[in-house]
Structure 1
């Protein structure tokens, strides 16, 4: 009887310990997850301020949506922010992806007006080769700023080809796949932004 009682007590203590451990892990995971999300949101806000004029950032109302479109590089949900002035949509920022980077997918933030004029572009994350393909990162070079004020005419806009192919995009020494991949993604994404007023029945 004493032996059975001892087993029950030990089982109870082990169960209690397991519940406590699991609860602790879940609690820590939730805290860590929230911190990661908050950190990413802060990074995005910093990038927002870098790629759009202060007037647009502070004086326009920003609304968030999720969108799914093959022009954004995959079939996943992508973040979309629309900027309104007097209830009229003026511009958009979209999280997009270049799926064909040299070392994998390149995640990008693109801001543009609905007429196809690019406001700014920033790379959110990538795995490109250090010293070569990583020049797409604003912390490495200002290459990404060359898209500012470019206009997208259509999906086959030759301006977004590398110069060696007759376009206007600078390539890197020893790297052509990475910059062309980013340029293609920017072209597709801005073309998507041009279609947003029709998709959302918005006034330009």
Structure 2
């Protein structure tokens, strides 16, 4: 009887060890897979606004930030681009235009710290098909017109739609959508220009201002 109990206890212990080991192994594999997926997502996002040349030129560090100029009170990813001397030279930020015609427009904005725009891409939106969806690169090249533009200040009058005296083209039949995107890009680039003043605070889990 004692031998039978001992045998059963051994079998239970053995299978428990196997089960725990399997769980730990699967968990480790899952974490590696998730980390790999996140890295692929990061690379995909950055490649939307940065050329391979720019990507290879800088070291990239990811931070979390929260600022109303980015369109809402949520956490936003900020990728800081550092040169070989570890000096910040540019940034890519996930930002939101909250005032699109049909709702929020989520975007990526990349710019140098001097205010020169590297690129802008729309991540998702609910704008009207055939009109407001021209902000998508797959629909038109309108969004590429921001590249290489400079923003000098929040009062930069050039960074307005032509309808309002600026230099940015609007769409035929749509004003609200392109103006919402334009305003958001301007606010985001102004935030990027101010990054040098908050660099020492970016080591926090989430920088909030």
Provide closer, same or farther for how the CA distance between residues 51 and 171 of structure 1 changes in structure 2, counting only shifts above 3 A. Answer: same
- Structure 2: how far apart are the matches of 1:78 and 1:137? 21
Q: Output one character per residue of 1:170-203: Cα deviation in whole Å (capped at 9) or x when no partner.
A: 111110000000000000000000000111149x
Equivalent residue, structure 2, for 1:72: 70
Measured in 2, the distance between the counterparts of 1:139 and 1:43 equals 19
Matches of 2:44 and 2:77 in 1, distance apart? Answer: 16
Q: 1:41 to 1:182 in 2, by over 3 A?
A: farther
Does the 8 Å contact 1:111/1:118 carry over to 2?
yes
**Residue 43 of structure 1, CA deviation:** 5.4
Match of 1:24 in 2: none
Please point out which of 52, 59, 64 is paired with 2:50: 52
Q: Across the two proteins, how many residue pairs are aligned to each other?
A: 168
Which residue pairs with 1:173 in the alignment?
Answer: 172
Question: Which residue number corresponds to residue 102 of structure 1?
Answer: 101
SS of corresponding position for 1:175: coil
Distance 1:41 1:177, change over 3 A: farther
2:116–2:150 contact (8 Å) kept in structure 1: yes
* Runs of 5+ unmatched residues, structure 1: 1-30
2:105 pairs with 1:116: no
Extract structure 1 runs of 4+ deviating beyond 4 A. 40-44
Q: 1:184 to 1:85 in 2, by over 3 A?
A: same
Task: Calculate the TM-score normalised by the size of structure 2.
Answer: 0.75
User: Hey, what does 2:4 align to over in structure 1?
Assistant: none
Mapped partners of 1:74, 1:144: distance in 2: 22
CA distance in 2, matches of 1:186, 1:49: 18
CA RMSD of aligned residues (A): 2.1
Shift of 1:44: 5.1
